[in-house]
Amino acid sequence: MIECSKCQRVESIMKAGFVRGKQRYLCKDCNYFFTLPSAQVPTKRKRHQTTIIDIARELGVSNSTVSRALHGHPDISPDTKKAILEAAIQLDYQPNQLAYSLVKSRSNTVGIIVPEFLTQFFPNVIVGAQGVLSRAGYHLMIMQSDESYETEVGNTRALLANRVDGLIVSMSHETNNYEHFQAFEKRGVPVVYFNRVCREIGTYKVVVNDYQGAFRAVEHLIANGYRRIAHLAGPRNLVISQERLRGYTEALQKYGLPVLPELTIHGDLTVEKARIYGRYLLELDHPPDAIFAVNDPTAIEILLLARAKGLRVPEQLGVVGFSDDSIAMHIGNGLTTVKQPTNLMGQTAAELILKLISEDEDTYPAETQVLETELIIRGSSVRGGR
Amino acid sequence: MIECSKCQRVESIMKAGFVRGKQRYLCKDCNYFFTLPSAQVPTKRKRHQTTIIDIARELGVSNSTVSRALHGHPDISPDTKKAILEAAIQLDYQPNQLAYSLVKSRSNTVGIIVPEFLTQFFPNVIVGAQGVLSRAGYHLMIMQSDESYETEVGNTRALLANRVDGLIVSMSHETNNYEHFQAFEKRGVPVVYFNRVCREIGTYKVVVNDYQGAFRAVEHLIANGYRRIAHLAGPRNLVISQERLRGYTEALQKYGLPVLPELTIHGDLTVEKARIYGRYLLELDHPPDAIFAVNDPTAIEILLLARAKGLRVPEQLGVVGFSDDSIAMHIGNGLTTVKQPTNLMGQTAAELILKLISEDEDTYPAETQVLETELIIRGSSVRGGR
DNA sequence: TTGTAAGCGTTATCAC
DNA sequence: GTGATAACGCTTACAA
């Protein structure tokens, strides 16, 4: 049964205890201790996937020939090529992208990290990006940070480990440290930031003109006779919050309205905070007659609060949101909102990353693409007869 | 500086024009012309990623020792381990998951294919699945088929090429051929179907009790006095459509109401079709007094049609949807709907796939997990005073 | 405890 | 046109 690994004798073998759970043997003849290599204890063998070598063996050619045939390389005779392609189908060959990526040092995959998945905004961007990328033969590896800095760092680590060729990212609202993104650039992997960008880093960005969108929204409220306009703002560290706040402020200033600090409250984009701060605003001694919210979910929360308090919208309270989520059209008489070109945003980011991937120098000039917004006017902000 | 490639002398070198843009040199001593091999002319050299070998060289140990240290292998001295871990950090080492996957023949990644991204349903499922998987150290590769059979086949091919360890899938409504899924099982890659499953294949499924959800929805309409209840159904080939239709039919039968063929119309789940068929239903000579729609988007389309026609909801028309999209809560006086446990569905599918991956035999018994639905009653179906 | 070397599935650079 | 053979970065017997 058991033969000595050294002298091949069988008759002189005796058991000699265990090593790490494996039977140890002693050959009395040559005084040699050994254990059996575990390969000889055939466990459940993985099903074998057909490889390029299987095809080569099948046809008696070399694997390089097979590789060439499979890739439409010019220097190959039509006959062998035909035979190889047929064998590939017959053996149900599926190329191993992992091996390919390893040798080419590129994965044909770009990663995208978004803070959340539950509003329409990010899924729409993803769909836009995916269209462009898949047309270019790239895959998209989608990750969500769940608005958590730690998860985001984990996401970047995973994408880095998977050697994505590029990264498209919108930051979590907790993110104040950018080393994990810089790690990509340090390795020559291009990064395109969109929507939630920051000022500190990032040479390639895709954003909307938040300032102008906010400005027009507030201007529209003023034109509809609202005079005491509050702003439910986003987190201070996000550029989108800052820009929307700036639009709000400057619109008030342009029309000679006072900018009252007590009417701007910074939330965190969630409805939970919106409920608290919205209630606070509406219960002020001298409450606002309109609220410009940093996004649609919070604007909708304001509408619900108003309804609960018996405030008539738009007569007693005007409300404007930002993004044009699909709910905006349907709630009440409609929510006026600043529409963002979500799909286009994804497409633009994808095109930019493809461009950066193809130029392997990063000599490509820094670039921030600014997309335009559109004010969608609905029932929540239009007072008749003024 | 420059030494002769032949005689290694340095002092006898002189420049001698250019060859293909590269400086050409002449060694006066041995009369030899040469150019520098391009490796020495560092062009845009791919940035080198630190590997295990770099660490090994740095410390003068072997790569296997490094590998062991990095994986907390027991048989390693604390000192070398410490040194290696420090060097890894200092050299900013990032493991190459591709190489790892190649040698282990598993990617620690599971794929998920969903038909679309734009309703809340699938993103919610994905979030649920991702939570479970990432806690287990797996990544999720998300693909969307865009309700197209061809795209779906492309998705499966990509996931197969990337050697995912498992697949979670909800089919496009065009899918009638299942070879591309069977390819996974043939290779020993487990597949879990959810939501859009089919009867023909699939031993592991996660679904909700569509039949019961639909039955209760229709029962609720009957209890509210509706008698001529139509059904805006889904595509015939989907099991969810069939089951919801069965629930509708049997509820009517239970309460002795006739099942009228002209009141069941099969759509394709899109609002476009819902608009056409909805209008058709509402313009019948003898129109229905309630409509049970196969999903929320189509139910909402019905609400909008009713509003446009001046039909009062729920007095003149009752409406019930399916899924509890976030809009359902907000539209009009609320849309009554059958809530699905989306997040749980994702979790369940993920747990099942993990179980299947860990048993590398597929001895695991076939299993269909049926989750329960909940009827959420809102304004679109409750007539007061009956 | 550590090193050596084979191998995972490809592509690419040479020869022939 | 085709075949060896060396990478790619890593894990893992097995040897030392």
pLDDT digits (tens, 9 = 90+) for B38-89: 333 333 335 688 999 999 999 999 999 999 999 988 888 889 999 999 999 9
The tens digit of pLDDT for each residue in A335-359 reads 999 999 999 999 999 999 999 998 7
CA distance A290 to A380: 10
Percentage of chain A beyond pLDDT 90 is: 75
**Residue A237 — very low, low, confident or very high, per pLDDT cuts 50/70/90?**
confident
How high does pLDDT run on average in chain A?
Answer: 87
Specify the higher pLDDT residue, A35 or A1: A35
Query: Strand, helix or coil at B230?
Result: strand
Lookup result for tokens 């065009």: B174
pLDDT digits (tens, 9 = 90+) for A57-91: 999 999 999 999 999 888 889 999 999 999 999 99
Chain A (32-71) residues lying within 8 Å, Cβ to Cβ, of chain B: 44, 46-47, 49
Confidence of residue A30 (pLDDT cuts 50, 70, 90): low
pLDDT at B263 over 80: yes
Half-sphere exposure of B269 (CA within 13 A, CB side): 21
Q: Which residue has the higher pLDDT, A103 or B8?
A: A103
Range with lowest mean pLDDT among A117-126, A285-294, B108-117, B357-366: B357-366
d(CA A91, CA A102): 24
Domain boundaries, chain B: 1-47, 52-95, 105-208+342-371, 210-341
Pairwise CA distance, residues A242 & A234, whole Å: 8
- Which of the following CATH numbers is that of domain A210-341: 3.40.50.2300, 3.40.50.300, 2.40.50.140, 3.40.190.10? 3.40.50.2300
Query: CA-CA distance, B29 to B7, in Å (whole number)?
Result: 8
**How many CB pairs below 8 A link A and B?**
114
Name the residue with higher pLDDT: A20 or A384. A384
CB B357 within 8 A of CB B192: no
Q: Are strands A229-233 and A204-208 parallel, antiparallel or unpaired?
A: unpaired
Distance from the Cα of B7 to chain A's closest Cα (Å) equals 36
Per-residue pLDDT of A208-227, as tens digits, reads 999 999 999 999 999 999 99
Whole-Å CA distances, B183 to A152, B180, B188, B209, B239 = 34, 5, 9, 28, 22
Q: How far apart are the first and last CA of chain A?
A: 101
B65 touches strand C (CB under 7 A): yes
Q: Is strand C within 7 Å of residue A1 (CB)? A: no
* pLDDT for res B18: 44
Exposure of A313 in the CB half-sphere (CA atoms within 13 A): 29
3-state secondary structure of B2: coil
Query: Does the C-beta of A104 come within 7 A of strand C?
Result: yes
Give residue A386's pLDDT.
46
Closest by Cβ to B330, choosing from A94, A157, A331: A331
Name every chain A residue with its beta carbon within 8 A of the beta carbon of B360.
44, 46
How far is the C-alpha of A185 from the C-alpha of A188, rounded, in Å? 5
Say yes or no: A187 contacts chain B, CB-CB below 8 A: yes
> According to the model, what pLDDT value does residue B354 have?
94
Average pLDDT, chain B: 88
In this structure, which amino acid lies at residue B347? Q
Confidence of residue A367 (pLDDT cuts 50, 70, 90): confident
- Answer yes or no: is pLDDT of B300 > 80: yes
Whether pLDDT at A45 is above 60: no
Buried b (16+ CB within 10 A) or exposed e, B19-42: eeeeeebbbeeeebebbeeeeeee
- Give residue for tokens 């796939």: B353
Q: Do A331 and B326 touch (CB under 8 A)?
A: no
> Does pLDDT of A8 surpass 60?
no
Class of domain A52-95: mainly alpha
pLDDT beyond 90 at B28:
no
Distance CA A3, CA A44 (A): 24
What integer pLDDT is reported at residue B19 of this predicted model?
38
Q: Say if residue B11's pLDDT is above 60.
A: no
Sequence-ordered list of residues with C-beta below 8 angstroms from that of A383, at least 6 positions apart, any chain = A224, A225, A314, A315, A318
Q: What is the largest CA-CA distance in chain B?
A: 112
Q: What is the mean pLDDT of residues A230-238?
A: 94
- Which segment of A247-261, B46-60, B158-172, B225-239 scores lowest on mean pLDDT? B46-60
Per-residue pLDDT reduced to its tens digit, B107-141 = 999 999 999 988 889 999 999 999 999 999 999 99
Could you tell me if B139 and B109 are in contact, meaning their C-beta atoms sit under 8 angstroms apart?
yes
For strand C, which nucleotides have at least one atom less than 7 Å from a protein CB? Answer: 1-5, 7-13
d(CA B101, CA A333): 54
- Cα–Cα distances (Å) from B243 to B213, B214, B230, B260, in that order, read 9, 8, 16, 17
B232 burial level (CB within 10 Å; 0-12, 13-18, 19+): buried
pLDDT digits (tens, 9 = 90+) for B196-247: 999 988 789 999 999 999 999 999 999 999 999 999 999 998 999 999 999 9
Q: CA of A185, closest CA in chain B: separation in Å?
A: 10
Residue B203's pLDDT is 83
The band of B369, judged by pLDDT with boundaries at 50, 70 and 90, is very high
pLDDT of residue A56: 93
Confidence (pLDDT) at B301: 95
Residue in A47, A353, A162 with CA at minimum distance from that of residue B140: A162
Mean pLDDT of all residues in A11-15: 51
Same topology, domains A105-208+342-371 and A210-341? Answer is yes
Out of B47, B120, B142, the one facing A187 most closely (by C-beta) is B47
Closest CA to B153 of B162, B163, B143: B143
- Interchain proximity B120–A118, CB inside 8 Å: yes
pLDDT of residue A40 exceeding 70, the answer is no
Q: Between B1 and B142, name the one with better pLDDT.
A: B142
Which residue is nearest to the C1' sugar atom of D4, using CA? Answer: A62
pLDDT of residue A370: 97
CB atoms within 10 A of CB A268: 17
Strands laid side by side in the B13-19 sheet? B13-19, B22-27, B32-35
Contacts with B, A 273-332, CB within 8 Å = 300, 304, 326-327, 330-331
Question: From the CB of residue B269, how many other CB atoms can be counted at a distance below 10 Å?
Answer: 24
> 3-state SS string over chain A?
CCCCCCCCCCCCEEEEEEECCEEEEEECCCCEEEECCHHHCCCCCCCCCCCHHHHHHHHCCCHHHHHHHHCCCCCCCHHHHHHHHHHHHHCCCCCCHHHHHHHHCCCCEEEEEECCCCCCHHHHHHHHHHHHHHHCCCEEEEEECCCCHHHHHHHHHHHHHCCCCEEEECCCCCCCCCHHHHHHHHCCCCEEEECCCCCCCCCEEEEECHHHHHHHHHHHHHHCCCCCEEEEECCCCCHHHHHHHHHHHHHHHHCCCCCCHHHEEECCCCHHHHHHHHHHHHCCCCCCCEEEECCHHHHHHHHHHHHHHCCCCCCCCEEEEEECCHHHHHECCCCEEEECCHHHHHHHHHHHHHHHHHCCCCCCCCEEEEECCEEECCHHHCCCCC
pLDDT tens by residue, B174-210 = 999 999 999 998 898 999 999 999 998 878 999 999 9
Contact B231, B248 (CB under 8 A): yes
Confidence band, pLDDT 50/70/90 cuts, at residue A41: very low
CATH number for the domain running over B105-208+342-371: 3.40.50.2300
pLDDT of residue A378: 97
Place of tokens 């390795």: A187
Output phi, psi for B334, to 5 deg: 95, 145
Element (H, E) at B75: none
Mean pLDDT, residues B270-279: 94
Burial of A119 (0-12, 13-18, 19+ CB in 10 A): buried
Q: Is the CB of B94 under 7 A from strand C?
A: no
Residue nearest to nucleotide D14 (CA to C1'): A37
- Angstrom distance (rounded) from CA A177 to CA A380: 38
Closest CA to A221 of A375, A365, A339: A375
Write the pLDDT tens digit of every residue in A293-333.
Answer: 999 999 999 999 999 999 999 999 999 999 999 899 999 89
pTM (predicted TM-score): 0.84
| Residue B299 to residue B219: CA distance in whole angstroms | 17
pLDDT at A363 over 70: no
Question: How far is C-alpha A261 from the geometric centre of its chain's CA atoms?
Answer: 35
Q: Per-residue pLDDT averaged across A166-186, rounded?
A: 94
Cβ-based neighbours of B359, under 8 Å, separated by 6 or more: none
Q: Which two tokens stand for residue B155?
A: 């998705």
Q: Which amino acid is at A159?
A: L
A164, A189 Cβ separation under 8 angstroms: yes
Query: In chain A, what residues touch B101 (CB-CB under 8 Å)?
Result: 98
As a whole number of angstroms, the distance between CA B267 and CA B284 comes to 17
Alpha-carbon distance of B125 to B350, in angstroms, equals: 10
What confidence tier does A203 reach under pLDDT thresholds 50, 70, 90? confident
Q: Taking a C-beta distance cutoff of 8 angstroms, is the pair A121, A325 a contact?
A: yes
